[in-house]
Structure 1
Amino acid sequence: MEAVTFILELLVVLGAIIMGTRSSGVGLGLWGGTGVAILVFVFREPVGSPPVDALLIVLSVVLASSMMQAAGGIDWMVGVAAKLISRSPKQITLVAPLVSFLFSAGAGTSNILYPLLPVIQDLSYKNNIRPSRPLSLSVVATGVALACSPVSAAMAAMVTLTDAPAYGYELIDIVKVTFPAAVVGIVLASFVVSRLGKDIADDPEIQARIAAGKFEAPKQDGPLSHADVAPTAKGRNAALIFLGGVLVIVIFGLFKDLRPLVPGVIDGAPGQVPLAMTPIIEIVMFVVGTLILLVARPKVAEIPTMTVFKAGMVSAIALFGLAWLTDTFLGAHQQVIADTVGGWVGNWPWIFALGIFLVCVLTTSQSTATRTVVPIGLAAGIPLGLLSGMWAGAFAGIYLLPTNGSQIAAANFDYTGSTKLGTKLVDHSFFVPTLVLAGFTIIAGAGFGLLWG
């Protein structure tokens, strides 16, 4: 009977994820909450704990980053990124993904990529480089960047899971594994991606469009198409304040002695322990938002209209519903999962990476994948360094299917037609870069995780 109940409840969880994926956006959260209702009222399971700490981190970060965007901070960051990319146009298949990665990690969102896409497209074409190569890898690189960002929603979910007293694994312990793993993954992937597709001179489709007069043959003496943004001094100040806040968070993570002491438990006895990183991230982000308000003076009334704010609220709702659902299910069957699935993951850790990857594919949400699969990896006893490294690489999975906004934007900006969305789910320009970057980053992450974890 217990096995039947387990299977039925698992079907409820999977069904909620599938229905939420079909609805997308806030639908993920709504179906997750409905799944909780079924488990509690139909199967009479004890209700799990909603991800309050993770949600509060997300809300504080979204507020600060939206203040930065309203002040023009993201526009300023885009301008800096565009200049960095234009300095090495011949190496754009490597430089553009690295710059996209760094700025996405710093800002905690992949939205910063959108205005960079026309710059990447224009520079690559003018230098006789197939635009699909840097465009596709740049898009996928922003996925793994969120596993390296102290202020991303996915990192918020990860930190609240791993900094519990049972694990004692903090933000800096995660980043010191995920960041170098992602950089190695991007560098290695660029060698593969730089050979994908035909060169411009050998591509009959591109040559036919040139012959038809749809656009000119590659020339390196024309004006560069910059993103449609106007960097300002206020935007610069807002961005520097925000990035300074990110640096402060990293410093607090590195040096525990700088944190305030609060009542806690040391070796089983009451004592004073450093404040956990979860409230520190929230506090720093509120201070950052306030400083931006005082220095850059963005229009507060415009904050709810910012794209970062909208995307962040959607992520928070999806995280709330699905994380609550998985916590309820895992809590009800913790021993069964630890003995079965946990045993598989313990014996074959790559199953954990596959699980994160597949949930990312289905939900296009790294934070949802984190809250869904990471608890299973923790219960299985995977070393936390190894777990973090594989977790980062699997984030590329959100781009395995051509359904993400940045993929669609990249294809639309590429007037040569080299960047394709495909018609068969596996024939689009992002499929191979996704698999390659995920594979290289997982392998590198596993190595760094075992070495430093």
Structure 2
Amino acid sequence: MVTFLVILQLFIVLALIFIGARVGGIGLGIYGMVGVFILVFIFGMHPGKVPIDVMLIIASVITATAALQAAGGLDYMVGLAARFLRKHPTHITYYGPLTTWLFCLVAGTAHTSYSLLPIISEIAKNSKIRPERPMTVATIAASLGITGSPMSAATAAVISTDLLGGQGIELKDILLVCIPASLIAILVASFVQNRVGKELEDDPEYQRRVREGLIDPEAEAMAMAQMEQSPNPRAKWSVLAFLLGVVLVIVFGSAPSLRPSFEVDGVVTQLSMPETIEILMMSMAAVILLVGKASVKQAVSGNIFSAGMNAMIAIFGIAWMGDTFFNGNLEFFKSHIADVVTQYPFLFSVALFIMSIMLFSQAATVRTLFPLGIGLGIPPLALVAMFPAVNGYFFFPNYPTEVAAINFDTTGTTRIGKYVLNHSFQLSGFITTFVSIGVGYLIITFLY
């Protein structure tokens, strides 16, 4: 009976994701909220955690990026990149993912990619490169940066004394194994993805949007040429202000001791990284508007702000539905996965992958399953090599960075497929997972 209910609930969740994807825009959020209603009011499940921090991070970063667009900074950056990409047009598929990976590696959160994804999309589109290629790898690379970042909650969980820290594993072991493994995996995924799909101008969805006037490639090309010939001098200052905000996020993410601490009722707490990002990026939006002499009206009327708000609403419903379903059935999933791993220890990386799909959190997956791996006698270094398997939440196309990437790609090439699971991120996700784990095993074999 329990198994039947879980399957029924999963069917409803997938069906609502499918309907929301077909509707498009904020449809994902609307139908995701319908799912929350069904799970809570009909099945009696406790509501999951509302993704407040994710939504606020998106809102703050998008506000700063929209201000940058209004000040001409985004066009200026795209114009500079376009000159280089005319000589090496396919390199955005490599440079974009490596950039999001590096940002997340340093800051410890995949949400820093929100400021980079619209830029990557614009560079690809204006260079006539299928945006799906760099956008999918860049989105996966952002998550991969967490499994190797010295600042991430997942890495902190792995090296805690009650997990691998008590087995002799130190931070340097995580960095030595996971960073090169992730780097190689991203390069391999970029190489493969660069050959996937039709060229942008041959894509039916792109052609439809051009015919309907949703995209005007000739106007964009003319605007690009104009930007390169006579860039707005104020745009440079807005770009510098934006980059300063990004650098500050990285600095505070890399050195937590720099973040302010507060004592309340005798308890000392430190400003969290989500709060830091929100404060910095919203404040930097004001600086960008000031130095770029742009108006708030221009910022909210741009396509960046619209896409970002669509993503935030979509995440509100979809992520809440997913969290409600998986946490409501957590004991069911844990017991079934534990049975499989006990019988076949070599499948532990598969168990990590599946559990991460259910939990939408690398740190939670580590805290849930790594004790089982230690109890099963799996070598600690093997668990380190398996660490990237906790990035499996790309499997369902409802993780915030995926939703944001879909909305930022105005050409429609980055998409959720007809059958939901055949979405744009699957290929890059599986390639990076397999390659990073494989390279990790090679490193521990020859280095230790």
TM tier relative to shorter chain: 0.5 to 0.7
Decide whether the 8 Å contact of 1:181 with 1:441 is kept in 2: no
Equivalent of 2:118, from 111, 117, 123?
111
CA deviations 1:15-66 (Å, max 9, x no partner) are 2222222223211111111111112221222222311122111111111111
CA distance in 2, matches of 1:44, 1:195: 47
Provide, for residues 241-296 of structure 1, a one-character-per-residue CA deviation record: whole Å limited to 9, x for no partner. Answer: 2222111111111112111113489xxxx742432211111111111111112211
Say if 2:58 and 2:312, in contact at 8 Å, map to a contact too.
yes
User: In 2 relative to 1, CA 311–147 (structure 1 residues): closer, same or farther, beyond 3 Å?
Assistant: farther
Separation in structure 1 between the aligned mates of residue 70 and residue 178 of structure 2, nearest angstrom: 30
C-alpha distance in structure 1 between counterparts of 2:153 and 2:310, whole Å? 19
Q: Distance in 1 between matches of 2:257 and 2:326?
A: 35
Counterpart CA distance in 2 for 1:410 and 1:48 is 31
Q: 1:142 to 1:178 in 2, by over 3 A?
A: farther
The verdict on how the C-alpha distance between 1:298 and 1:348 changes in structure 2, with shifts beyond 3 A counting, is: same
Report the equivalent of 2:298: 302
CA contact (8 A) 2:261 2:269 kept: yes
> For residues 322 and 167 of structure 1, what CA distance do their matches in structure 2 show?
32
Alignment of 1:413-452 (within 5 A): 435=427, 438-440=430-432, 442-444=434-436
Deviation at 1:160, TM superposition (A): 9.2
Partners of 1:241 and 1:291 within 8 A in 2: yes
Superposition map of 1:170-189 within 5 A: 183-189=183-189
Supply the AA of the counterpart residue of 2:92.
Answer: A
Q: Name 2:83's counterpart in structure 1.
A: 83
Establish whether residue 66 from structure 1 lines up as the match of residue 58 from structure 2.
no
- Cα 1:73–1:327 shift into 2, 3 Å: same
For 2:42, the aligned partner's letter is V
3-state DSSP of counterpart to 2:262: strand
User: Structure 1 residues 2 and 136, CA, compared in 2 at 3 Å: closer, same or farther?
Assistant: closer
- Residue 123 of structure 2 aligns with an amino acid whose one-letter code is L
| 2:285 is the counterpart of 1:289 | yes
| Matching of residue 100 in structure 1 with residue 107 in structure 2 | no
Report the more deviating stretch, 386-395 or 28-37.
386-395
Change (3 A) 1:77 1:183: farther
CA shift at 1:74, angstroms? 1.2
Residue 441 of structure 1, CA deviation: 5.9
1:322, CA displacement in angstroms?
1.5
The alpha carbon displacement at 1:194 in A equals 7.7
SS in 2 for 1:147: helix
- How big is the shift at 1:82? 2.4
Given that 1:394 and 1:442 are in contact with CA atoms closer than 8 Å, whether structure 2 keeps it comes out as no
Q: Say how many residue pairs are matched.
A: 370
Q: Do structure 1's residue 278 and structure 2's residue 274 form an aligned pair?
A: yes
Spell out, residue by residue over 1:101-135, the C-alpha distance to the aligned partner (whole angstroms, 9 max, x if none): 356666624332454347645xxxxxxxxx88xx7
Q: CA RMSD, aligned part only?
A: 5.1
State the partner residue of 2:167: none
What's the % identity of the aligned pairs? 27
Q: Distance in 1 between matches of 2:270 and 2:190?
A: 41
Task: Provide the residue aligned with 1:331 in structure 2.
Answer: 327
Equivalent position SS for 1:243: helix
Provide the residue aligned with 1:34 in structure 2: 34
The structural deviation recorded for 1:355 is: 8.5
What code does the residue aligned with 1:185 have? A
**1:439: Cα distance to partner?**
1.0
Q: Which residue does 1:6 correspond to in 2?
A: 6
Aligned partner of 2:247 in structure 1 is: 247
Q: Secondary structure at the match of 2:323?
A: helix
Q: Is the 8 Å Cα contact of residues 58 and 114 (structure 2) preserved in structure 1?
A: no
- Aligned residue in 2 for 1:389: 388
User: SS of the residue aligned with 1:262?
Assistant: strand
Residue 67 of structure 2 contacts residue 299 of structure 2 at CA under 8 Å; is this kept in 1? Answer: yes
Question: Per-residue displacement from partner, 1:386-428 (whole Å, max 9, x unpaired)?
Answer: 7873466885997x9xx968889498xxxxxxxxx9xx99xxx
Q: 1:68 to 1:233 in 2, by over 3 A?
A: same
**Contact 2:51/2:316 (<8 A) preserved:** yes
> Is 1:96–1:120's contact at 8 Å kept on the other side of the alignment?
no
The 8 Å contact of residues 73 and 236 in structure 1, kept in 2 or not, is answered as yes
For residues 13 and 395 of structure 2, the distance between their equivalents in structure 1, rounded to whole angstroms, comes to 23
Q: How far did 1:319 drift? A: 1.0
The 3 A distance-change label for structure 1 pair 77 and 184 is farther
My pick for the range that moved more, 381-390 or 73-82, is: 381-390
Q: Matches of 2:42 and 2:196 in 1, distance apart?
A: 52
1:314 is aligned to 2:310: yes
* One-letter amino acid of the structure 2 residue matched with residue 389 of structure 1: P
User: Is residue 2:143 matched to residue 1:147?
Assistant: yes
Whether contact under 8 Å (2:96, 2:120) holds in the other structure is yes
